[in-house]
Amino acid sequence: MIEQLLDNKLHEAVKELYGTDISENLVQIQKTRPEFEGDYTIVVFPLLRVSKKKPENTAVEIGEYICNNLNEITEFNIIKGFLNLTVSANYWTDFFKTNEVNQDFGKHPDKNTDPVVVEYSSPNTNKPLHLGHIRNNLLGWSVSRILENGGYNVAKVNLVNDRGIHICKSMLAWQKWGNNETPENSGKKGDKLVGDYYVEFDRHNKEEINTLISEGVSSDEASKTTPLLSEAGSMLRKWEENDKEVRALWSMMNSWVYDGFKTTYKRLGIDFDKIYYESETYLLGKKLVQEGLETGVFFKKEDGSVWCDLSSDGLDEKLLIRADGTSVYMTQDLGTAQLRYDDFKPSKLIYVVGNEQNYHFEVLKLVLLKLGKNWASNIQHLNYGMVELPEGKMKSREGTVVDADDLMDEMYETAKKTSEELGKFDDLDEDEAYELYNILSLGALKYFMLKVDPKKTMTFNPAESIDFNGNTGPFIQYTHARIRSVLRKSENTIETKNEELQYSFDLEPKEVSLLRLLHDFPLVTKQAAETLSPALIANYAYDLAKEYNQFYHDITILKESDDRKRMFRIKLSDFTGKTIKFAMGLLGVDVPERM
């Protein structure tokens, strides 16, 4: 690619002109800003320490050397300390001829490394998947796909948090107030039904807190000592003791939730290579804690609780086992990490978890390293910001979350309403319209979630995400459909469409602009894999779609009288369409053939 050629030639120029090698941190090559003439810009200022000359003189010398020794560069201009270089038309046409039929364009060769394990989703079995889970799932799936495209061997895994006090709260509430309600006799989706009882527990528990406060108990003490909370704690202890009745209730309600999760995952287009369950990993975690206790890595307090002292690492003491012998999240995460290492011997363990858990994963890595698990240095927490709605934050226990299924339903209705108001698909039959609205609604949802840098908190607005203009999924999907329409219309325009295309004509500026963007795609996919950021792919797809639409409006395609130019523009359209489809596929977004 031209960037590497320029990088190599710049090193060569400095060596030849100034008799010294330069370190890579002094090399700054970037795209030329639109208001200036040129394709790529070398920032000269860092090089003055070796040239010992003024910026303009240094730029002239380097510019002349590169133009004389690199055929791909035809001319240069200088704006203060910035050297702007123009790439030859032949380079762009050669790039096009080489890659427009390349089925692996944008894909990188296998790296032959140990697997990269990516954990995402990590739901609790006391509630349905919600808006926050959607961002997690989409981010984890897309990052996995981008890493696979980058040549990595990826294992997509899920850890289901299927045990603990929060699970017992739903179980206890159903036991007390459920009246044997089931998904079958209520018509409710299983995960939704169980989530309703989690909310029911919180409602009754708040009533008990208020009663205790009215009796003179402090609010802090009341929140920890309600009869309901004590019952839930007792149920958890019975679960860990393998009480048959508690385990039977737990298995039944969890099975309802798994059926619900399965439906949501399928609709969202999410899958996993392996699913772990906390109920199967926490015992290994407890075993690791016991080993750490025996070797002096951990210590036990008078009440019987087990801790790890991280004060020497700038942190505090971390609870690993409660006084009553029950485990905490950290306990099962220790076990799960060990299991994943045993299963995959991964080169990297990536956890896709919200940024409110930054401390947790810092502790997890430290504790494992103290246990002598050197592979824990490969743990990486891909944290992301929370998702909010225009009206504010959501709270699961208060029942103010937006369920994933409800949101997808709303997205479908919004896509349908918006399309009907615009009169875009009046000619489609009912089945075609249903399929298209599904593609549009899921595309809008996924793209809107993934176009934002993962680390940023975002506000999701369903109506805004469906807009057919602007930086949205439907805009990009519509552009792809437009390209497919051009190609269908072009099928009988000339008889020589399969003959080798001759490029003995000057390219239009808009054609060059489109080729420049296409040229960037392999670098964008590489950077996305390195930074674990689907946002790079999403915003590239938008830029490419936007550039094609400008090309479509400014340049004659099918009615061009010159056969060579017409065929070139048709093939350029095809190349662009395939690249848009590939890019959106890395995000899990389908693009329609017709709209």
Nearest-CA neighbor of 157 among 268, 275, 258, 261?
275
pLDDT band at 391 (very low <50, low <70, confident <90, very high): low
Residue 395 belongs to a domain:
no
Average pLDDT over the chain reads 93
Angle between helix 534-554 and helix 430-450 axes, rounded to 10 deg: 120
**Measured on CA atoms in the order 429, 431, 437, 440, is the torsion positive or negative?**
negative
Query: Using a CB cutoff of 8 Å and minimum separation of 24, what contacts does 328-331 make?
Result: 329/164, 329/360, 330/285, 330/360, 330/363, 330/364, 330/367, 331/282, 331/285, 331/286, 331/289
Domain range for 567: 404-586
**Are 55 and 133 within one domain?**
no
pLDDT at 594: 87
- Is 154 domain-assigned? yes
Domain edge (last residue) among 68, 87, 106: 87
Q: How confident is the model at residue 400 (pLDDT cuts 50, 70, 90)?
A: low
Reported as a single tens digit per residue, the pLDDT across 555-565 is 999 999 999 99
Mean pLDDT in residue range 228-244? 95
The pLDDT, as a whole number, for residue 550 is 97
342 and 475 inside one domain: no
Q: Note the pLDDT of residue 595.
A: 83
264, 168: one domain? yes
In the structure, what pLDDT confidence band is assigned to residue 468 with cuts at 50, 70 and 90? confident
Is 595 strand, coil or helix? coil
**What's the order of all strands across the beta sheet hosting 29-31?**
29-31, 40-43, 82-87, 73-79
**H or E segment and range at residue 82:** strand 82-87
Which value, to the nearest 10 degrees, does the dihedral of the CA atoms of residues 332, 336, 342, 347 take? -130
- Greater confidence (215 vs 399) lies with 215
**Residue 504 confidence (pLDDT) above 80:** no
| Reported pTM | 0.90
Distance between CA atoms of 112 and 223, rounded to whole angstroms? 53
Parallel/antiparallel/unpaired status of strands 379-384 and 348-354 = parallel
Counting residues of the chain whose pLDDT is more than 90, the rounded percentage is: 83
Evaluate whether residue 106 is within a structural domain.
Answer: no
Is the model's pLDDT at 399 over the cut of 50? no
Within 8 A by CB and 6+ apart from 312, the residues are none
Least confident of 304-313, 434-443, 500-509, 578-587: 500-509
Lowest mean pLDDT among 329-338, 356-365, 487-496: 487-496
Average pLDDT over residues 323-351: 94
CA gap 368, 292 in Å, rounded? 10
Three-state helix/strand/coil letters over 249-297 = HHHHHHHHHHHHHHHHHHHHCCCCCEEEEHHHHHHHHHHHHHHHHHCCC
pLDDT surpasses 70 at 393: no
* Residues 8, 51 within the same domain: yes
* Dist CA 13 CA 7 (whole Å): 10
What's at 153, amino acid-wise? N
- 353 and 411 belong to one structural domain: no
Residues 268 and 309 in one domain: yes
Virtual CA dihedral for 288, 292, 297, 300, nearest 10 degrees? 110
Are residues 160 and 60 located together in one domain of the fold?
no
| Strands of the 154-160 sheet, one edge to the other | 274-277, 154-160, 116-119, 348-354, 379-384
Judged against a pLDDT cut of 80, whether residue 514 lies above it is answered with: yes
105 lies in some domain: no
pLDDT given for residue 1 in this prediction = 81
- Quick one: pLDDT at residue 343? 97
Q: Are residues 187 and 332 in the same domain?
A: yes
Within-domain flag for 468: yes
How far apart are alpha carbons 500 and 135 in whole angstroms? Answer: 46
Task: Compute the C-alpha angle 291/295/299, nearest 5°.
Answer: 85
Q: Are residues 128 and 78 in the same domain?
A: no
Position 472 pLDDT exceeds 70: yes
Same domain, 366 and 415: no
Q: Does residue 256 sit within a domain?
A: yes
Listed in sequence order, the residues at least 6 apart from 238 whose beta carbon sits closer than 8 Å to its beta carbon are: 245, 246
Q: What is the DSSP letter of 32?
A: P
Region for residue 314 given its phi and psi (left: phi exceeds 0; alpha: psi -120 to 50; beta: otherwise) = left
Pairwise CA distance, residues 52 & 20, whole Å: 12
CA–CA gap between residue 11 and residue 23 (Å, rounded): 9
pLDDT number for residue 398: 47
Residue 397, pLDDT score = 44
Q: What is the pLDDT of residue 496?
A: 42
**What CA–CA distances, in Å, run from 405 to 142, 258, 270, 380, 410?**
20, 14, 14, 30, 9
Q: Quick one: pLDDT at residue 429?
A: 84
Distance CA 380, CA 225 (A): 38
pLDDT 10s digits, 69-101: 999 999 999 998 999 999 999 999 999 999 999
Residue 95 forms part of a structural domain: no
Same-domain check for residues 280 and 158: yes
Taking a C-beta distance cutoff of 8 angstroms, is the pair 317, 308 a contact? yes
State the total domains in the chain.
Answer: 3
Please give the angle made by the CA atoms of 270, 273 and 277, to the nearest 5 degrees: 95
- Tell me the chain's radius of gyration from C-alpha atoms: 29
CA distance 280 to 121: 17
Which CATH number does the domain housing residue 66 bear?
3.30.1360.70
Question: Which whole number is the average pLDDT over 316-336?
Answer: 92
Tens digit of each residue's pLDDT (9 = 90 or more) over 273-303: 999 999 999 999 999 999 999 999 999 999 9
Q: What letters, b where the CB count within 10 A reaches 16 and e where it falls short, cover 65-94?
A: bbeeebebbeebbbbebbbbbbbbbebbbe
Confidence class of residue 500 from pLDDT cuts 50, 70 and 90?
low
**Quick check: 493 pLDDT over 60?**
no
Residue 158 domain-assigned (yes or no): yes
Which CATH number covers residue 440? 1.10.730.10
52 alpha carbon, distance to own chain's centre: 46
